[in-house]
Amino acid sequence: MKIFITTLLLSSFFLLNIQAQDIQQHDARAKKIDLERNGYTDVIFSDADFYKESDPKAYSKEGESVYNLGMIHLSKHYKRHSLKKIALKFSGPNSILLSEYYFDSDQVFLVQKTRLTYNASMHSDAYKKEETDTTKHRYYFKEGSLVISSDKKAMQDKSIVQDILSDATLYQKSSNIMEPAVYAVQKATNFKEKIVDIDCQLSLSEVTLTDENGDILRFLYSFSEQIIGRLYPYEVAYLHNDFEDGFLRKINYLDSKGQLKNIPYSEKKLEVASLEFELKNIDLLKQKLADIDDQDGNIETNDKKKKLVLKKYLSATGEVVKQEYIDSDEYWKYQNLIYRP
């Protein structure tokens, strides 16, 4: 009997020790991923669709737990082409669920969930931020099996674990835009720097790439078919915004081969492939733009006579077909808003 009890105690000790080691290793790997995030490429879906109404066979199980779910924000973080983390925010009037999935070699090894539950709908007079209830749980996985969790229900109910793994797989497979994004960059010959941000608008079928220099490239993309195919008007395939030191210097309209594409401009039937901005007085312009920022763009500066920004209209051959000074608020709109043909 003593031998049996001793063996059982030793087995329990070694099991707990192994679990403790797994937790430490998993936490260290997750921490490393978060610390290295600045060097990753971020893929963002501000209007992700994992609703049961959209697809009863492939929907977010955890999203279903948010009452009257209104919005799903998804971000996927890649080191080169290797998926390292997926983060989601499920927003409803009564609660918010924040979920983080950490991956190694396409296997999820840690999931962290934080739920904020309000005392009442955040849109009602009874809502009080200070009465928000916060719960956090961590789920540690090894080779597809749950090792340990702070969620006692998950340790007892296998269906909870299955739902977590099902959600992880669903998010992994959703709209893999990395390869098409690289393809787009290769097509757009002047967009050669490392991509640091990929913003996907499902409702617009549009993808926005940002490189490490701040340059922006936009193109239309079919998320259902996962192909680049649709064009903007006038057969424009890519919109390229060229930045330098944080200032917009040029907007280029490109065809499917990445070549400059003339499009008709409203005035005098101009054929324009690029808009170039020559900045004359950077210090004064910075001050003007800061004032416009403070007003969220809702201000008219009427300062074109100060000759701060010279706007040039260029053809596909580089010929300046027209040029004029513009107000700094007009330049602010070019820099901060999206102008599509």
Asked if the model's pLDDT at residue 15 lies above 50, the reply is: no
pLDDT, residue 47, reads 86
Asked if the model's pLDDT at residue 251 lies above 80, the reply is: yes
Q: How far is CA 56 from the centre of its chain?
A: 25
Task: Report DSSP state, residue 159.
Answer: H
- Report the share of the chain in percent with pLDDT over 90: 59
Residues 6+ away with beta carbon under 8 Å from 303: 288, 327, 328
Spatial separation of the C-alpha atoms in residues 5 and 121, rounded to whole Å: 54
Element (H or E) spanning 162, and its range? helix 158-173
Q: How many residues does the chain have?
A: 341
Residue whose entry in the numeric block shows the structure tokens 């209830």: 133
pLDDT, residue 189, reads 61
pLDDT, residue 267, reads 63
Please report how the helices 282-294 and 328-336 are oriented relative to each other, as an axis angle in degrees rounded to 10: 70
Query: φ, ψ for residue 35 (rounded to 5)?
Result: -70, -30
3-state helix, strand, coil in the chain (%, to 5): 30, 35, 35
- For 289-317, write each residue's pLDDT tens digit: 999 999 998 999 999 999 999 999 999 99
**Per the structure block, which two tokens stand in for 199?**
């913003």
pTM of the full structure: 0.76
- For 92-120, write each residue's pLDDT tens digit: 999 999 999 999 999 999 999 999 999 99
pLDDT band at 23 (very low <50, low <70, confident <90, very high): confident
Bridge partners, 197 (sequence order)? 42, 210
Residues 6+ away with beta carbon under 8 Å from 266: none
Strands 107-117 and 133-142: antiparallel
Residues 6+ away with beta carbon under 8 Å from 260: 252, 253, 254, 273, 274, 316
Average confidence score pLDDT of the chain: 87
Distances (CA, A) of 27 to 34, 248, 334: 11, 41, 44
Asked if the model's pLDDT at residue 58 lies above 70, the reply is: yes
CA atoms lying within 13 Å on the CB side of residue 209: 28
Spatial separation of the C-alpha atoms in residues 136 and 100, rounded to whole Å: 11
Strands 41-45 and 195-201: parallel
- For 163-203, write each residue's pLDDT tens digit: 999 999 999 988 677 677 777 776 676 666 778 888 888 88
**Per the structure block, which two tokens stand in for 218?**
């936009």
Residues 6+ away with beta carbon under 8 Å from 176: 226
Q: How many CB atoms lie within 10 A of CB 89?
A: 16
- Report the share of the chain in percent with pLDDT over 70: 90
Q: How far is CA 100 from the centre of its chain?
A: 14
pLDDT band at 5 (very low <50, low <70, confident <90, very high): very low
Strands 320-326 and 309-314: antiparallel
